[in-house]
Structure 1
Amino acid sequence: MKKNYKIVLVTLLCLVFTSVGNSYADSLEGNTTLGGTNGYIVIPSAYPVDSNNGPAITSGYQAILEFPTTFAHIPYIQFGFAKDFETSLAVDIKDSANILLNGKWRFLEKGETSVSFGFIGQAINLGNTNEFAAQAYFASSFSSNFIDWPSKTTILIGYTFKEKLNSNIDFGMGFQAPLLEKVFKGKVDFLIDFGNVSYSIDPSAGDAGNRGMLNIGARLLPVEFMKSTYITADLRLLDLLDDKGRGISAGISITFRP
């Protein structure tokens, strides 16, 4: 987004509304970004997928409509293993295909705070220009308050290895908090993330080259519908502050924890 002051304003507002406070259960575990890694909408969290009691396998599908006409599909598969590691593979299919290979390692866990290193390898516009890029990041996730809601908060900083960007330095924040807890009985969360980075350098909604995004959404937390098998769902509004690239996304995933 060309008017970067909008991102600065949103950052300041969220920092004002955020203060360390009530503990919030690790409901981020088992929920993925558009790129298939554990996290919010486009911002990864520091939490790997829950694999404390054995490997976890998640498969999912996400649809994106970028207004007014573009429709894209993102199927993905995610693996969690050895408690602190996860990896995933997603394919972003629009006019061409983008492949996203994610890896995350949580190297610090103290109380309710986790710190992870992540890497996203990207093969972009396959069959046409055949470009390549990568993103490396550090993410810190912890309990806090978003306004008066107990929240899981993440701060991300990283670097995008790709030329022709306004800035290669990545930053972002994400919040996840219960949505209308009395109505939804703690089963649905509110999501918000923002920053100058998306799940890919070529997202199917949003303009990653202009480096500014705000996304909000709602998330159905994991529900066990068969033994050791869980289903989740997300509904998202994408890139709300930009002058182009706004979109809507819906996704569903199934996780098996043997």
Structure 2
Amino acid sequence: MQIKRYLSVSLLLLAMACLPALDLPSGQVSDAGNATISGSNGYIVIPSAETAWSGKRTSITTGYSGIFAGSYAHVPYIQMGFAGNLEMSLAVDISDQVDLLLGGKWRIARGQNSSLTFGVVGQLLNATTTTNLAAQLYLASTFNSTFIEWPSKTTLLIGYTFDGPLTSNIDFGVGYQTPFMPEALNRKIDFLVDFGNASYSASPSGGNAQSRGMLNMGLRLRPVQFMKVAYISVDIRLLDIFDAQGRALSASVAISYLAQ
């Protein structure tokens, strides 16, 4: 059943690549419809310094991520972008326990090809029984780059996760996004890779960076317009590829609405 579910999402991703994708201002790497597993604008786990949609109008994105790591976890989320420099997100990680993840970003500086953002992810872990609190504070810098003549966006992140005694290592992560087979797929699908020593929460359902860090890879269908102001995007992800303890598959679908 789980295999059929991922095959269905894969076929949807390839089929929708034939539809017209949203022509974004950057014209090269998608700024819109990007969400991590926890709902923050970004890559797979690593948030970017770009706030939702990177424009001046309010945007609302509702999405759903599924994570399969032996058992199945549901992660619905909602993401809102305000005035181009503010973003809020709320995700619910539902597996053996229920975790609430509340994220916020404030872009404090923006250049022609780069952004610097301060962010926080508040975490209410095991919310239905014995509640535990955690929080991650971070700074992220995102900039345009080029890799083998492919336009890309790269993000560097540094932060700290507060989870009980202050004995954690400093959080560090890198995210990278570039068009996947740009000539064959007409720049409609992006390739994602991120790695670091922190997961999307202190108690993730898939992808566990506590032992040796983790490397994630994925494909993202750039937003496809299906109504005047509504767009759909799809992600397929591989989490913690090198470690059996945290290895998982993930797929997500998001619908974004851009206010007029």
Unmatched segments (≥5 aa) in structure 1 = 1-22
What letter corresponds to residue 92 of structure 1 in structure 2? D
Aligned to 1:63: 66
- Cα distance in 2 for residues equivalent to 1:176 and 1:242: 23
- Cα distance in 1 for residues equivalent to 2:40 and 2:82: 14
Aligned to 2:6: none
Tell me by how many angstroms 1:166 deviates.
6.8
- Structure 1 residues 161 and 255, CA gap change in structure 2 (3 angstroms): same
Summarize the alignment of residues 102-141 of structure 1 with structure 2, pairs less than 5 Å apart. 102-141=103-142
1:52-108 deviation per Cα after TM superposition (whole angstroms, max 9, x unaligned): 242100000010001xx2100000011101110000100000011000000001010
Work out which of the residue numbers 37, 41, 49 in structure 1 matches 2:40: 37
Aligned to 1:88: 89
Q: TM-score by structure 1 length? A: 0.86
Structure 1, 150-159 or 45-54: larger mean CA deviation? 45-54
The SS at the match of 2:184 is helix
Percentage of identical aligned residues: 53
Aligned to 2:196: 195
- Structure 1 residues 51 and 171, CA gap change in structure 2 (3 angstroms): closer
What letter corresponds to residue 33 of structure 2 in structure 1? G
Q: TM-score by structure 2 length? A: 0.86
- Cα distance in 2 for residues equivalent to 1:121 and 1:159: 12
For the 8 Å contact 1:219–1:235, the answer to whether it is kept is: yes
Aligned to 1:162: 163
What letter corresponds to residue 159 of structure 1 in structure 2? Y
What letter corresponds to residue 32 of structure 1 in structure 2? A
- Cα distance in 2 for residues equivalent to 1:147 and 1:105: 32
- Cα distance in 2 for residues equivalent to 1:87 and 1:38: 9
Aligned to 2:53: 50
For the 8 Å contact 1:24–1:152, the answer to whether it is kept is: no
The SS at the match of 2:156 is strand
Structure 1, 75-84 or 125-134: larger mean CA deviation? 125-134
What letter corresponds to residue 43 of structure 2 in structure 1? Y
Structure 1, 143-152 or 112-121: larger mean CA deviation? 143-152
How many residue pairs are counted as aligned between the two chains? 234
For the 8 Å contact 2:196–2:209, the answer to whether it is kept is: no
**How large is the RMSD of aligned CA atoms in angstroms?**
1.7
- Cα distance in 1 for residues equivalent to 2:169 and 2:204: 16
Tell me by how many angstroms 1:50 deviates.
1.6
Tell me by how many angstroms 1:142 deviates.
0.4
Aligned to 1:9: none
The SS at the match of 2:117 is strand
- Cα distance in 1 for residues equivalent to 2:159 and 2:147: 23
The SS at the match of 2:215 is strand
Summarize the alignment of residues 4-43 of structure 1 with structure 2, pairs less than 5 Å apart. 25-43=28-46
